[in-house]
Chain A
Amino acid sequence: MKNVSSLCLALVVSTVLTSLALFIGELKSMHDVDWVDLIGEATASMMAAIWLILLALCRPRGRVTTMLLFGSATYWLTTWLDVLDEFIAYPPQSHLFTWLESLPAPISMTLLTWGLVIWYREQQAVNRQLKQREHFHREHSLIDPVTQLYSLQYLLIQLNREAVLHDKRNQPLSLVMVDINGFAQYNREHGAHKGDQALNEVASALEVALRETDLACRYTSDRFVVLLPDTPPHEVDVFSKLIQDCSNAALKGALTVTTVQATRTEGESEQALFERLNQRLAGAKRASSAALEAV
Chain B
Amino acid sequence: MIPGNFAYLHDKRMPAHFLITILELAEHHQIKPHQLIRGSQLFLEDLAYPGAQVAPASVLFILKKLKRELAEQPQLALELGQRIATGHGHVLFDLWRYAPNLSGALTAWASVQKGIETLVQFNVERHQGKLYIRLTESASLSTQQRMLFEIVLSACRLLLKEQLGAQTWVKIELPWSQPGQDLHYPVYLGEHVRFDAPRCAIILSEEALYQPFKEASTLRFAQAKHTAKHLLHPPQLLQAHLRRIFRKNLGQAWSLEYTASYLGMSPATLKRRLKQDGTNFKLLVDEVRGQEALHLMDLNQWNNSQLANTMAFADVHSFRRAFKRWTGAVPSAFRCGS
Q: Taking beta carbons and an 8 Å cutoff, which residues of A are in contact with B?
A: 139-141, 145-146, 152-153, 156, 184-185, 187-188, 191-192, 219-221, 223, 270-271, 274-275, 278-279, 282, 285-286, 289-290, 293
Contact check, A271 vs B181: say whether CB atoms are below 8 A apart. yes
10 inter-chain pairs at a CB distance below 8 angstroms, sorted by A residue, are A184-B86, A188-B87, A188-B88, A220-B75, A220-B78, A221-B82, A270-B183, A278-B186, A282-B190, A286-B166
- Report the Cα distance A153→B190, complex, angstroms: 21
A139-B72, A187-B86 known; A290 vs B184 contact (CB < 8 Å): no
Contact check, B166 vs A145: say whether CB atoms are below 8 A apart. no
Contact check, A285 vs B191: say whether CB atoms are below 8 A apart. no
- Report the Cα distance A219→B72, complex, angstroms: 14
Contact check, B86 vs A220: say whether CB atoms are below 8 A apart. no
- Report the Cα distance A73→B2, complex, angstroms: 95
Of B87, B182, B183, B188, most buried by chain A (CB within 10 Å of CB) is B183
Contact check, A219 vs B187: say whether CB atoms are below 8 A apart. yes
Contact check, B72 vs A153: say whether CB atoms are below 8 A apart. yes
Q: Which of B78, B88, B162, B182 contacts A184 (CB 8 A)?
A: B162
- Report the Cα distance A285→B88, complex, angstroms: 26
Contact stretch, chosen from B22-30, B203-211, B288-296: B22-30
Contact check, B183 vs A152: say whether CB atoms are below 8 A apart. yes
Shortest distance in angstroms between A155's beta carbon and chain B's nearest beta carbon?
10
- Chain A minimum-CB-distance residue to B79: A221
A192-B24, A289-B167 known; A274 vs B86 contact (CB < 8 Å): no
Instruction: Mark interface residues in B79-107 (1 if CB within 8 Å of A CB, else 0).
Output: 10011011110000000000000000000
Chain A residues with CB under 8 Å of B147's CB are none
Q: Which of A139, A271, A289 contacts B183 (CB 8 A)?
A: A271
A192-B24, A221-B82 known; A270 vs B181 contact (CB < 8 Å): yes
Q: How large is the interface on B (under 10, 10 to 19, 20 to 34, 35 or more residues)?
A: 20 to 34
Contacting A at CB under 8 A, from B112-168, are: 158, 162, 165-167
Chain A residues with CB under 8 Å of B86's CB are 184-185, 187-188, 192
- Report the Cα distance A271→B178, complex, angstroms: 12
- Report the Cα distance A111→B151, complex, angstroms: 66
- Report the Cα distance A141→B28, complex, angstroms: 13
CB-based closest 10 A-B pairs = A289-B166, A278-B186, A188-B86, A187-B86, A184-B86, A220-B187, A285-B166, A286-B167, A274-B183, A220-B75
Chain A residues with CB under 8 Å of B183's CB are 152, 219, 270-271, 274
A285-B166, A289-B166 known; A184 vs B187 contact (CB < 8 Å): no
Shortest distance in angstroms between B298's beta carbon and chain A's nearest beta carbon?
25
Shortest distance in angstroms between B206's beta carbon and chain A's nearest beta carbon?
21
Beyond A145-B30, A221-B79, A279-B186, 8 additional contacts (C-beta under 8 Å) are: A146-B28, A153-B72, A184-B85, A184-B162, A220-B79, A282-B190, A286-B167, A290-B167
- Report the Cα distance A127→B184, complex, angstroms: 38
Q: Which of B28, B87, B165, B187 contacts A289 (CB 8 A)?
A: B165
Chain B residues with CB under 8 Å of A187's CB are 86
Chain A residues with CB under 8 Å of B181's CB are 156, 270-271
- Chain A minimum-CB-distance residue to B186: A278
Chain B residues with CB under 8 Å of A271's CB are 181-183
- Report the Cα distance A286→B229, complex, angstroms: 38
Chain A residues with CB under 8 Å of B30's CB are 141, 145
Contact check, B187 vs A275: say whether CB atoms are below 8 A apart. no
Shortest distance in angstroms between B227's beta carbon and chain A's nearest beta carbon?
18
- Chain B minimum-CB-distance residue to A188: B86
Shortest distance in angstroms between B216's beta carbon and chain A's nearest beta carbon?
15
Contact check, A145 vs B87: say whether CB atoms are below 8 A apart. no
Chain A residues with CB under 8 Å of B88's CB are 188, 191
- Report the Cα distance A290→B75, complex, angstroms: 29
A153-B72, A184-B86, A271-B181 known; A145 vs B187 contact (CB < 8 Å): no
Shortest distance in angstroms between B192's beta carbon and chain A's nearest beta carbon?
10
Chain B residues with CB under 8 Å of A188's CB are 86-88
- Report the Cα distance A85→B172, complex, angstroms: 94
Shortest distance in angstroms between B281's beta carbon and chain A's nearest beta carbon?
42
Contacting A at CB under 8 A, from B166-204, are: 166-167, 181-184, 186-188, 190-191
- Chain B minimum-CB-distance residue to A177: B187
Chain A residues with CB under 8 Å of B158's CB are 184
Shortest distance in angstroms between A105's beta carbon and chain B's nearest beta carbon?
55
Shortest distance in angstroms between A148's beta carbon and chain B's nearest beta carbon?
13
- Report the Cα distance A145→B30, complex, angstroms: 8
- Report the Cα distance A185→B165, complex, angstroms: 12
Q: Which of A140, A146, A220, A275 contacts B72 (CB 8 A)?
A: A140
Q: Which of B28, B85, B166, B187 contacts A278 (CB 8 A)?
A: B187
Chain B residues with CB under 8 Å of A220's CB are 75, 78-79, 184, 187-188
Shortest distance in angstroms between A184's beta carbon and chain B's nearest beta carbon?
5
Chain B residues with CB under 8 Å of A185's CB are 86, 162
Shortest distance in angstroms between A178's beta carbon and chain B's nearest beta carbon?
13
Shortest distance in angstroms between B108's beta carbon and chain A's nearest beta carbon?
19
Chain A residues with CB under 8 Å of B182's CB are 271
A184-B85, A188-B86 known; A275 vs B162 contact (CB < 8 Å): no
- Report the Cα distance A282→B191, complex, angstroms: 8
- Chain B minimum-CB-distance residue to A269: B181
- Report the Cα distance A233→B87, complex, angstroms: 40
- Chain A minimum-CB-distance residue to B25: A192
Chain A residues with CB under 8 Å of B85's CB are 184
Chain B residues with CB under 8 Å of A156's CB are 181
- Report the Cα distance A156→B191, complex, angstroms: 21
